[in-house]
């Protein structure tokens, strides 16, 4: 498949919108004492069928295991997750989300919606629907990583 200049422009536009969304979200997360990476890990833990192992999280987040350890350390210190022994392996640890973590996720989802609203403000309802359909097609075309 050959890419046109229009594809390159489109890719750049997607990157710019993504960066803008990340900057807005970071500003909203800062007062809550959580980083975007911690938010991503917390959200991932919440969406797993059961408490994931640290290695599962590293694979799912596409990071090295040491990065997961650092993120879990911060979230555990704030009471948002806890480490639990893995019943299938004495050496493995599972990560459980706490009530505090669930409450944080609810607050963060509100912050995320506000960030999206700020970015989508120039679009009409019809344009948002078309954009949603296009983004769904892109997301559905990507392989999903499950815990």
The two structure tokens encoding residue 110: 């509100």
Query: What mean pLDDT is reported for the chain?
Result: 89
Check if the beta carbon of residue 111 is closer than 8 Å to that of residue 24: no
Q: Which tokens in the block code for residue 36? A: 């975007």
The single residue listed with the structure tokens 């229009």 is 6
For 114, how many CA atoms within 13 A lie in the half-sphere containing its CB?
A: 13
Is-above-0.85 flag for pTM?
no
Per-residue pLDDT of the chain (147 residues; tens, 9 = 90+): 455 688 889 889 999 988 988 888 888 888 888 988 999 999 999 999 999 999 999 999 999 999 999 999 999 999 999 999 998 888 889 999 999 999 999 988 887 788 888 889 999 999 999 999 998 998 888 776 666
pLDDT at 144: 66
No. of helices (H) and no. of strands (E), the chain: 6, 2
CA distance 141 to 139: 5
């Amino acid at each position: 498949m050959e890419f046109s200049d229009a594809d390159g422009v489109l890719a750049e536009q997607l990157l710019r919108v993504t960066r803008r969304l990340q900057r807005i979200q970071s500003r909203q997360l800062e007062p809550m004492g959580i980083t975007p990476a911690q938010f991503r890990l917390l959200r991932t833990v919440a969406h797993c069928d059961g408490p994931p192992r640290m290695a599962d999280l590293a694979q799912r987040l596409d990071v090295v295991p040491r990065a997961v350890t650092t993120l879990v350390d911060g979230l555990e210190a704030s009471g948002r997750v806890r480490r639990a022994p893995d019943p299938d392996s004495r050496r493995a640890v599972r990560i459980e989300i706490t009530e505090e973590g669930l409450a944080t996720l609810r607050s963060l989802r509100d912050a995320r919606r506000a960030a999206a609203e700020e970015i989508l403000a120039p679009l009409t309802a019809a344009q948002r629907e078309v954009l949603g359909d296009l983004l769904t097609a892109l997301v559905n075309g990507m392989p999903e990583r499950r815990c």
